[in-house]
Amino acid sequence: MSKPLIAVTGANGYIGRHVVEKLKDAGARVIALDLACSEDEADVLWKRADILDDSLDCSAIFEEAPDALIHLAWRNGFKHDAPTHLGDLSAHYRFVCKMNDFGVDHIVCMGTMHEIGYWEGAIDENTPCNPRSLYGVSKDALRRALELEQTRRGFCFQWLRGFYICGDDEKSQSIFGKLLRAARSGETTFPFTTGKNKYDFTTVDQLAGMIAAVALQDEVVGTINCCSGEPMTLAERVEQFIADNGLSINLEYGAFPDRPYDSPGVWGDPAKIRRVLSAVEK
């Protein structure tokens, strides 16, 4: 059998770099799309592309339709109220539809737990959505729009909900990256929330493995939680990070208020992603 050809948007981003490596390790060929490109290597072809530009011509990028699209590209993912989320929304929708028109019948898109909004307990694919940030509103709207397109067009559609991502922290805009950079610049204290909220933490390497595994199969579809299913308080996870990295910095608890749209405890139901990973391991 020939190696599957997978297109990845945002391929040079925080998550995308890891997804490209996982796809390579799994024996796939990758066309990596980003505004900033790395060097081509065996089974990875880099293409500079602005996927939000309506003039983007798929035939100028691809010699053949990829077997699947993994759409990760998204601006300001750590700035939940950035106006770009709504501003870019229709362009994301048009790009995915354009790729399907070009012949890509397997669409994988990155979503977020923030589509749900305030929720306590486990999130599964049937949990109602009531997002409370522009980021969550926009991701939720894109998912709903593509679900409608899937019923009309019939493509394989997988929407992957990410939870609290950590790892590769030098390049991260998460609290872990900010904490690491603060400690290395000589700061001895770090302003923090109460840290009492419980989240579902997944390393970016684990997440990338889940994304690649989903894209390389079409049996488990729909909304899939990329998660551990095991909640941990933010304070516990951050204190663990400080200890693991030997940082000489203390958290200033209560310096920032907890975000009003974050619940006391929320985590993902991992049943579907476990089915995917079990199938890949066989």
Catalytic residues: 135
Report how far residue 159's alpha carbon sits from residue 235's, in angstroms, rounded to the nearest whole number: 29
Rounded to the nearest 5 degrees, what angle is found at the Cα of 246, between the Cα atoms of 203 and 186?
A: 105
At 225, is the secondary structure helix, strand, or coil? Answer: strand
- Exposure string for 181-210, b = 16+ CB within 10 A, e = fewer: ebbeeeeeebebbebebbbbbbebebbbbb
Beta bridge partners of 71: 9, 109
Report how far residue 142's alpha carbon sits from residue 51's, in angstroms, rounded to the nearest whole number: 15
Q: According to DSSP H, which parts of the chain are helical? A: 16-25, 58-61, 84-101, 134-153, 175-184, 204-215, 234-244, 271-281
Which two three-digit tokens encode residue 151? 């019923």
